[in-house]
Structure 1
Amino acid sequence: MKKIVLIAAFLVSGFAMQAQELKWYTNVNEAIAVGNKEKKPLLLFFTGSDWCGWCIRLQKEVLTTPEFATWAKANVILVELDFPRRAPQTDEIKKQNNDLQQAFNIQGFPTICIANGITKDGKTNFQGLGTTGYVAGGPKAWLAVADGFLKKK
């Protein structure tokens, strides 16, 4: 019996570690370069990380789960575009996030856009594949929506 408990604990900690290993970019140009190299679209997470209740709920229920981690590593480059009220940000990051909020016409948080980013002649263009926010039902329900967007790429 002890062996079964130890094996179960090992597997659970392995999944938790996998979720923690995700790389979230904050510089969209860096993320675009990686996305183009790996031939993956960007998952742009517009969030108010320290004040938005639905953003925090989406993080807990989906974005920090092993299911999401496995899916994300295989399918997208993660970009967090945060609009915090208390956490400090550089002026460069604030400007970038505000510019992207306007470019994607983001009206509320959380909003997740999946898009291909293309930089040509110093200009960045995005090909939107889909937009969603919080989806009830945990990672399985959320990933079903996201997978529908990836079929468009």
Structure 2
Amino acid sequence: MKYRYIFLFLFLSNLVVFSQEEKESFWVYDLTEAKEIAKKENKTIVLYFTGSDWCRPCMMLKEDFFGSYKFSKYKNSFVFLYIDIPRDQDLLTEKQKIENYKVLDLYNKAKTFPLIFMINHKGKILDQISGYSSLRDPSYHFDLLSKFTK
């Protein structure tokens, strides 16, 4: 009986932690929404193209850059737009597939992954960085964010 309560407590505490992580997500998944937020908050948009389930450099960048403590200092300085082009099409809703491919065709005609654009609220490209080295050095990516930090 005692173990049942311990299990229930652990289950519920994990549920609370995971639900808090979802609410703290800093990614936006729609270009129009990102532009509106950027205009309202006077921020630059970080437009990130990834192939989350097949692009090894994207996976390394996610871990080394987006998952780093240093990156967390930038979360409130930008609007982060996440455009995923996975091979497993079941990872996206039909609506999200349409949106992602629309943005891909607009900004990433060469289909380069990973690719980060800095754009303004009107959609104008201000700067970009392409790829990620197997040396796993995200310093160039941090330099790009620093360049646009207000």
Asked if TM exceeds 0.5, the reply is yes
TM-score, L = length of structure 2:
0.72
* 3-state DSSP of counterpart to 1:143: helix
Higher strand proportion: 1
Structure 2 equivalent of residue 90 of structure 1: 93
Size of the alignment, in residue pairs? 126
Task: Report the CA distance between 1:139 and its aligned residue.
Answer: 4.1
Q: C-alpha deviations, 1:25-75, integer Å up to 9, x for none?
A: 11222222211111001111100011100000111111111111112322x
- Amino acid paired to 2:87: R
Does the 8 Å CA contact 2:31/2:81 hold for their aligned counterparts? yes
1:30 aligned onto 2:45: no
**Aligned pairs (5 A) from 1:47-126:** 47-74=50-77, 76-86=78-88, 87-107=90-110, 108-118=112-122, 126=123
Structure 1 equivalent of residue 125 of structure 2: 128
Identical pairs, percent: 25
Alpha-carbon distance in structure 1 between the residues aligned to 2:138 and 2:25: 16
Alpha-carbon distance in structure 2 between the residues aligned to 1:64 and 1:88: 21
- Closer, same or farther: CA 61–83 of 1 in aligned 2, 3 Å: same
* 3-state DSSP of counterpart to 1:34: helix
Does the 8 Å CA contact 1:32/1:117 hold for their aligned counterparts? yes
Larger Rg, first or second structure (1 or 2):
2
Does the 8 Å CA contact 2:114/2:132 hold for their aligned counterparts? no
Q: Please, which runs of 5 or more residues in structure 2 have no aligned partner?
A: 1-19
Alpha-carbon distance in structure 1 between the residues aligned to 2:37 and 2:109: 24
Task: Report the CA distance between 1:81 and its aligned residue.
Answer: 0.2
- Amino acid paired to 1:147: S
Moved over 6 A (4+): none
Does the 8 Å CA contact 2:61/2:138 hold for their aligned counterparts? no
TM-score, L = length of structure 1:
0.71
